[in-house]
Amino acid sequence: SYELTQPPSVSVSPGQTATITCSGDALPKQYAYWFQQKPGQAPVLLIYQDTERPSGVPERFSGSSSGTKVTLTISGVQAEDEADYYCQSVDSSNSHYVFGTGTKVTVL
Partner 1 sequence: QVQLVQSGAEVQKPGASVKLSCKASGYRFTSHSMHWVRQAPGQGLEWMGIIDHSGVSKYAQKFQDRVILTRDASTSTGYLELGSLTSEDTAFYYCAREDKLGTIDFWGQGTLVTVSS
| Total site size for partner 1, rule CB under 8 A | 24
Residue (17 or 58) nearer to partner 1, CB: 58
Q: Is 26 in the site for partner 1 (CB under 8 A)?
A: no
- Sequence-distant (6+) residues with CB within 8 A of 13 are 77, 107, 108
Residue ranges in 28-87 that form contacts with partner 1 under rule CB under 8 A:
31, 33, 35, 37, 42-45, 48-49, 54, 84, 86
Q: How far is the CB of 20 from partner 1 (least distance, A)?
A: 14
Give, rounded to a whole angstrom, the gap between the first and last alpha carbons of the chain: 36
Q: How many CB atoms lie within 10 A of CB 107?
A: 19
Single residue of 12, 26, 57, 98 touching partner 1 by CB under 8 A: 98
Give 73: exposed, middle or buried? Use CB within 10 Å, 0-12, 13-18, 19+: middle
- The answer to whether the beta carbons of residues 5 and 100 sit under 8 Å apart is yes
- The answer to whether the beta carbons of residues 31 and 89 sit under 8 Å apart is yes
Q: How far is the CB of 89 from partner 1 (least distance, A)?
A: 10
Residue (37 or 75) nearer to partner 1, CB: 37
Residues that bind partner 1 (CB under 8 A): 1, 31, 33, 35, 37, 42-45, 48-49, 54, 84, 86, 88, 90, 95-102
